[in-house]
Structure 1
Amino acid sequence: MVTKLPLAVLLSASMLLSGCTVVDLDENGQPILPKDPAAKASFSSQTPQQIAQENWDSRVLKGAQDRALTWNDMKNKSTALKAETSSSVFVKATGTVTAVSDDAERERLLTVTINGESVPVAIGPVIRSNAIRDAAGFKFEEFTNQVQFARLTKALNQQNVQQLPKIDGSWVGKPVQLTLAVTLQPQRIEDAVAVVIKQEQP
């Protein structure tokens, strides 16, 4: 025997069904929920200095260790970039120091010959580059606004300078091992920042 449902029940069920939203599932069958527009950015409660200090080992040094390209792979990546694009990566290389800026300069450079190419490498104390921030994978979406994101660049560069060894004219002519944060443009290196630098033992 077929039981007829009251009209009010049918209307209520219809309204419930019409209000349902189909949610996409990820590869594990879990629902993909949209980002809450009211949610705070990951680093909203921290200063750029705190972010740099707390993430230095895990995102910068470990990122450089795990993802650093060889010099040749980095050059190939630069060649493959499309016009008007850039990319920041970590690179490991060896070379010979050919020049060191005077200690009195604020934006000091170490010039290193790598694979026959003369490469200026920023060593501070003032570094004007986003290379470390971007190579480490920090994203704008993690921050409250553009100002906080930009200030992280300065904080990371300052943190970096503090852990570099003292570099002076005695390094000229010496072989070195380098880990660099490099910003690439098509067919060229825009800038390179020393993250780890050690003199090779004879």
Structure 2
Amino acid sequence: MYKRLWLTLAVVLLGGCRIVTQQELADLKNPPNPKMVNIAQTWQQKLVPQIVREAKPLAELMKSLQSAGDFDTACKTYGYRSQVENPCVFSVSVSGTVTAVNTTSRSGKMIVNARSGDSVTIQMGPIIRGTALRDGYKGASYQDFNDQVLFGDYGKAINQQASTLMQQFKPKVGDNVTVAGVFSAWDIPQQPPVITPAQITRQ
């Protein structure tokens, strides 16, 4: 009788409880930053339109940078950085023909023979390296997070949008494309840099 009563009581008590993960517990104590919500919407409605609007043809930008007096002036004129400790991020566009596509590497890339004659490398993913997309977005900065790990997660989530873009687009050798994207630099680049894409279209 008593044994059955204790068993019933244990079932009732346990029925109102559940085990939470360490991450859930952390989220309860420190709710995720609002910037982490609806990243796909931020990507589509804010980040990509900003890059497309500010993108300069890569060849034209490279010439402007080469003729700039110093890098800080070039960054203020042609690029963006939220604070001096960061590299400068430039928004660019490239139009040309796809000459190579590497899908065997986790850090896949494609090569575009630009109309300017330059051979330009575009990141494809699924792993997108760097934080140029995050750092070039004017709608968020580290001050909005004050948490290096969360800010890093924010960058990864944005990079995932770029990876999804390229995986769905499935570029092929011979495609004529236009890519709008970004690259970051600490100094004036002497050769075409690797571009992280935000938009790609077939011509």
The TM-score range, normalised by the shorter chain, is 0.5 to 0.7
Q: Secondary structure at the match of 1:129?
A: coil
C-alpha distance in 2, partners of 1:141/1:92? Answer: 29
**Within 2, Cα distance between the matches of 1:142 and 1:47?**
9
In the superposition, relative to structure 1, how do residues 151 and 195 fare at CA in structure 2: closer, same or farther (>3 Å)? Answer: same
Rounded Cα–Cα distance in structure 1 between residues aligned with 2:175 and 2:161? 25
The Cα shift of 1:163 comes to 2.8
- Aligned twin of 1:197: 200
Q: Tell me how far 1:48 sits from its aligned partner.
A: 6.6
Partner SS for 2:170: coil
Q: Deviations over 1:70-90 (max 9, x none)?
A: 223421454335389831122
RMSD (Å) for aligned C-alpha atoms: 2.6
- The alignment covers a number of residue pairs equal to 154
SS state at 1:119 partner: strand
Deviation at 1:51, TM superposition (A): 5.4
Q: Which has the larger radius of gyration?
A: 1
1:135 aligns with 2:136: yes
- 1:45-97 per-position Cα deviation (integer Å, ceiling 9, x unaligned): 43775252241123311212322222234214543353898311221221111
Q: Percent identity?
A: 23
Counting helix residues as a fraction of each chain, which structure ranks higher? 2
TM-superposition CA deviations, 1:147-173 (whole Å, max 9, x none):
2212211110112222333425xx212
Secondary structure of 1:97 counterpart: strand
Could you list the runs of 4 or more consecutive aligned residues of structure 1 that deviate by over 6 angstroms after TM superposition?
none
DSSP-derived class of the 1:100 partner: strand
Normalising by the residue count of structure 2, what TM-score does the alignment of the two structures yield? 0.65
Alpha-carbon contact 1:52-1:155 (below 8 Å) kept: yes
1:82 to 47, 71, 83: 71
Structure 2: distance between partners of 1:55 and 1:85: 22
Residue segments in structure 2 that go unaligned for 5+ positions in a row: 1-30, 73-84
